[in-house]
Amino acid sequence: MSEVENLMNDPQVLRELIMDHYQYPHNHKLIKDNGYMSVHMASDSCIDDITVQSDIKDGIIQDIRFDGIACTISTASTSMMTDLLKGKSIAEAREIIKNYFDMIEEKDYDPELLQEAVALKNVYKQANRIKCATIGWKAIEEMIDESEAKK
């Protein structure tokens, strides 16, 4: 079994991963830089109110950052997203995002592409958490679309 498959079968480790990313979010705090794109997202069903920034240059996601008020699920899922997509090409990032949304919608997906983000694999069971688990991912998707539209 691969490392990710082992991870998927250990609910306790998955819970700890979510708590870790919530307590110590990665790529947290925004940057003042006009070269960055910025998307603000707020939820009407949760406290989530976040801003996600990204620097996409030469078809590569050079940096992603986020900050704001957010629940455990949205903080952890956005933190994991920044780790996963930083340094990836737009094509790679789109493939990862598609697989993540497939997982959240309870469709087939490739866990190897999602790494730690498989920790959110049971979110589909709680309809009111789906928005939390996708809010940061939708923000980066919007910025990828924007960066491609600019070309």
Q: How far apart are CA 62 and CA 45, in angstroms?
A: 32
3-state secondary structure of 76: helix
Q: Is residue 133 part of the contact set for Zn ion (CB under 5 A)?
A: no
Closer residue to Zn ion (CB): 19 or 31: 19
Give the 3-state DSSP-derived string for 83-117, with helices as H, strands as E and coil as C.
HHHCCCEHHHHHHHHHHHHHHHCCCCCCHHHHHHH
- Interface residue with Zn ion, options 4, 30, 71, 90 (CB under 5 A): 71
Q: How far apart are CA 135 and CA 5, in angstroms?
A: 25
Q: How far apart are CA 137 and CA 38, in angstroms?
A: 13
Closer residue to Zn ion (CB): 13 or 46: 46
Q: How far apart are CA 79 and CA 22, in angstroms?
A: 8
| Residues in contact with Zn ion, shown as a per-residue x/- string from 25 to 54 under the rule CB under 5 A | ---------------------x-x------
- Interface residue with Zn ion, options 54, 74, 78, 134 (CB under 5 A): 74
Q: Is residue 132 part of the contact set for Zn ion (CB under 5 A)?
A: yes
- Shortest distance (Å) from residue 46 CB to Zn ion: 3
Q: Is residue 78 part of the contact set for Zn ion (CB under 5 A)?
A: no
| Residues in contact with Zn ion, shown as a per-residue x/- string from 92 to 131 under the rule CB under 5 A | ----------------------------------------
Closer residue to Zn ion (CB): 75 or 99: 75
Beta bridge partners of 89: 60
Q: How far apart are CA 69 and CA 50, in angstroms?
A: 6
Closer residue to Zn ion (CB): 74 or 79: 74
Residues that bind Zn ion (CB under 5 A): 46, 48, 71, 74, 132
